[in-house]
Amino acid sequence: MTRSLRKACRACTAAKRRCIVQLPQCTRCRTRQIDCVYDLEPLMGGTSRATTSGSSTNLLSRPIADDEGDLSVSAKFLLYVSSLHMDPKRVALECYRNPTTQYPVVWRVPISVDFPTVEYLARKLVDMADSVALSQSAPYVHPQRKPRPRPALLGPDFNVESRMTTYSDITQCTRLSDLLCALHDSREPLSEILQAFQILLGHIMRLLFSGDQSRPRHKEKLLGYTRRLAVRLVKDAPRMMPSNLSRWEAWILAESLRRAVLMSCLIQGVYNGWTRGYCYHELFIQALPFNVRPGMWTAGSEGEWEALLDIGNDKLGSGYHGATDLVSFHEFASSFARAPFDPGADTFQRLLLMAHHGKAPVDRVLGMS
């Protein structure tokens, strides 16, 4: 069963109504004067009626802003978001306000970055881009399902293996953006779209992190097209999954897709930190699910994978996640802060932990990488 974060409150979900996420209550709950509780965290204001849920003692059960739009107490919310990190020096910088209600909008909160971590991750991403070009290998690419050196959807003229280019950044961005748009509109099989996306992520990493730390508009647009395709894949992939795959093959395809989407978010976060000095906490990213069970991704054969699957719900890996469970990125990162676990040979998990908690805190727990 997928365990991910709900982006709508319980009341709107039960009523099958659109939920506009705000603090202390969503628009619908505020108008109707009913309890507004989220599964992400209980985002309840002072006017909400008392709830019997044990989560009502959370920091967010207090008012975040009054009816005049006073955000003086929103620091509690920002402090809470910062507390999700193991590095106490990383703090929430500000919270955006809805122009109509003047309440903080929760969909994203900027967090100050740890620059040594950002520089380390930027170098790792460039190395990863080289690995994708040379051998189609990367922590988000499964060894059993490497993309072809020249995915069909990228066309015959796209030089996948080249690590150098004579084209300008603008020309490269335009070409990559056009390819991302074509993938977004493509009706080709999911595996073909994924292969092309995996290769393009390598080229995007090299383009973003091999130059200076400026933020030209064409690179911002490129990130926008990358996110647009990622959102489409999250939305449409379940109905695009082929039905003729074995359990292991279907799992590899689905997990490869989940990790490619998370990888696109990691690239965006590192780029924001590298050029702006902060990155965003977004509900979309916090809710993205993937499989965190050590050994599942790195299993070398179907028999080895099946053996891990047969373990069932034994408490292995992170301490409480079952073999087939998916967990949200929020659960993954916060569980490491509560009870650190070793992801083993799964480099992708370690990169995500470093991006969230900082390199130094993760190295202190797991040893130097």
The pLDDT of residue 42:
34
For a pLDDT cut of 90, what percent of the chain falls above it? Answer: 35
More confident of the two residues 188 and 337: 188
The pLDDT of residue 56:
27
Q: State how far the Cα of 255 lies from the Cα of 145, in Å rounded to an integer.
A: 11
Domain parsing of the chain, residue ranges: 1-111, 115-366
Q: State how far the Cα of 318 lies from the Cα of 209, in Å rounded to an integer.
A: 32
pLDDT in tens, 240-282: 999 999 999 999 999 999 999 999 999 999 999 899 888 877 7
The pLDDT of residue 91:
62
The pLDDT of residue 34:
81
Contact (CB, 8 A) for 279 and 81: no
- Answer yes or no: is pLDDT of 351 > 80: yes
Three-class secondary structure of residue 13 per DSSP = helix
The pLDDT of residue 162:
59
pLDDT in tens, 278-306: 887 777 888 899 998 878 898 889 999 98
The residue-averaged pLDDT of 331-338 equals 86
Report the predicted TM-score, pTM, of the whole model to 2 decimal places: 0.72
Provide the pLDDT confidence category of residue 58 given band limits of 50, 70 and 90.
Answer: very low
281 bridge partner residues: 109
